[in-house]
Amino acid sequence: PNSEYELLRRRIYSNTKEFWYFIHSGLLDLEKKAHESAPEIVDSVKYLLSLGVEHKRSLLHDIDQLAEVDGYATWREKEANDLSGLVQKRFHFLQNPADCKTAKKLICSLNKGCGYGCQLHHAVYCFMVAYGTKRTLILKSKGWRYHKAGWEEIFKPVSDTCVDPSGKSVSNWPGNSETQVVNLPIIDSLSPRPPFLPLAIPEDLAPRLTRLHGDPIVWWVGQILKFLLRPQPQTAAVMQETMTHMGFKRPIVGVHVRRTDKVGTEAAYHGIEEYMTAVDEYYKELELKTSVDKRRIYLATDDPKVIADAKSKYSHYEILGDPSISKTAAISTRYSDSSLFGIINDINMLAMSDYLVCTFSSQVCRVAYEIMQTYYPDASSRFRSLDDVYYYGGQNPHNTIAVLSHEPRKNGEMSVVAGDLIGVAGNHWNGFSKGRNLRTNQIALYPSFKVKDKIETAKFPTYAEVDK
């Protein structure tokens, strides 16, 4: 297929969703107002809402089917495999230099003071810089808060041949082309910032990736996680046993409910009903194409009360979830060996689900979403976030390009000229996103469907010696 076709297909899909967010939220407002001042129209509004959502579902289903009947499904599978094979081979080459004694190295310490998802993102960031500077990544993980003995007991070492951090010259970031060993700080204190940071993808892969995938940076992060998280046999066995024991099977929606310390500090509270409404919507759309024996969810949370609550309120659902996992996720035990397999299993099952419902403000869910990309040619629309759009901690501004102009009609709306660059702050999931117009500097709301993502690229090394 040509890129135009693939981009258009995905654009119609996401803008159909945006169209319904807009109409749905407008009708809910109207219903509220009607309750107060025009009760006779409440029923009409309810009618529009109930038939309107059927319209939307049918449209999304049909657009989704398009990808199954257009004859390109085999190409997508193959292209996804080829691209993954290509970068995994490069990663292997980078990480296993011919001579470790003289190899250029980048040292990354797995000691960032934060949770598991945050630490994985720290490791991924280190890997991006290693790949970008063509330095073998040395991951220092002795005393890791999630497993004191170190990363290598849980996951395969990031190198088979080169783990010695020493070298004849050592310097802090950035060093120069002669420096053999460079120490990398956490992304938050990185200076100067190289061009390899998210949301940038390697320029040489960009044409193929933008054709294949709806959110190339998520694919890129997913591929790095695929390399980093190759499990040791013991870890693989635990993940497999847990899935079997839980009765993990498809169809299944992964639901992640992040509570405890996150709520009120870094994220707002969302009731279980909000998550389950999104789950219901997923199943109603699925039921347009297949009959579903049982609506099933995998529920991961750091608050064990959530699982009991969901089980009592949604008895017609099969709810997989282990309250004892969430207990070890409590803050007191969070950063310890006992909680490690809990979070590994939770992320694994969320990532293996058909669809994800969660808050992207949580790194746990973003990691699951990133890993999910490795199981499909393009899983970029298999999620519903109740808060943020996808982002990568420490990323450069997320810019979009206006494809349609916009005349403000209400207070708070942005004036947009096609071609404007707009930095996204967030999607309000009501048809509007908030952002800054880089031409006018105005911070305001604009209709989400009027922009498209600007795909950022950087000149990473191309590893020509590997691609033979």
Residues that bind ligand GDP (CB under 6 A): 114-118, 256, 258, 262, 300-302, 325-326, 329, 334, 339, 342-343, 346, 362-364
Q: Where are the beta strands (DSSP E) in 245-369?
A: 253-257, 296-301, 318-320, 355-358
Q: Which one-letter DSSP state was computed for residue 375?
A: G
CB of 146 to ligand GDP, least distance (A): 8
User: Which lies closer to ligand GDP via its Cβ, residue 203 or residue 388?
Assistant: 388
Q: For residue 207, give the 3-state DSSP assignment.
A: helix
User: Which lies closer to ligand GDP via its Cβ, residue 135 or residue 366?
Assistant: 366
> Pairing mode, if any, of strands 432-437 and 421-427?
antiparallel
CB of 31 to ligand GDP, least distance (A): 34
Q: For residue 162, give the 3-state DSSP assignment.
A: coil
Element (H, E) at 212: helix 206-212
User: Which lies closer to ligand GDP via its Cβ, residue 81 or residue 336?
Assistant: 336
User: Which lies closer to ligand GDP via its Cβ, residue 80 or residue 272?
Assistant: 272
CB of 220 to ligand GDP, least distance (A): 20
Question: How far apart, in Å, do the first and last CA atoms of the chain sit?
Answer: 25
CB of 82 to ligand GDP, least distance (A): 32
d(CA 259, CA 399): 30
User: Which lies closer to ligand GDP via its Cβ, residue 60 or residue 357?
Assistant: 357
Residue nearest to ligand GDP according to CB distances in the complex: 115
- Residues whose CB is less than 8 angstroms from the CB of residue 454 and which lie 6 or more positions away in sequence, other chains included: 399, 400, 401, 421
CB of 230 to ligand GDP, least distance (A): 20
Block residue for tokens 């709520």? 263
User: Which lies closer to ligand GDP via its Cβ, residue 363 or residue 373?
Assistant: 363
User: Which lies closer to ligand GDP via its Cβ, residue 115 or residue 167?
Assistant: 115
Block residue for tokens 């939307």? 56
Helix, strand, coil percentages (3-state) for the chain, rounded to 5, are 45, 15, 35
Q: Where are the beta strands (DSSP E) in 103-180?
A: 105-109, 136-140, 170-172
Helix residue spans in 134-172 (DSSP H): none
CB of 173 to ligand GDP, least distance (A): 23
CB of 321 to ligand GDP, least distance (A): 9
Q: For residues 334 and 232, is the Cβ–Cβ distance under 8 A?
A: no
CB of 267 to ligand GDP, least distance (A): 8
User: Which lies closer to ligand GDP via its Cβ, residue 133 or residue 361?
Assistant: 361
d(CA 450, CA 216): 20
d(CA 271, CA 303): 13
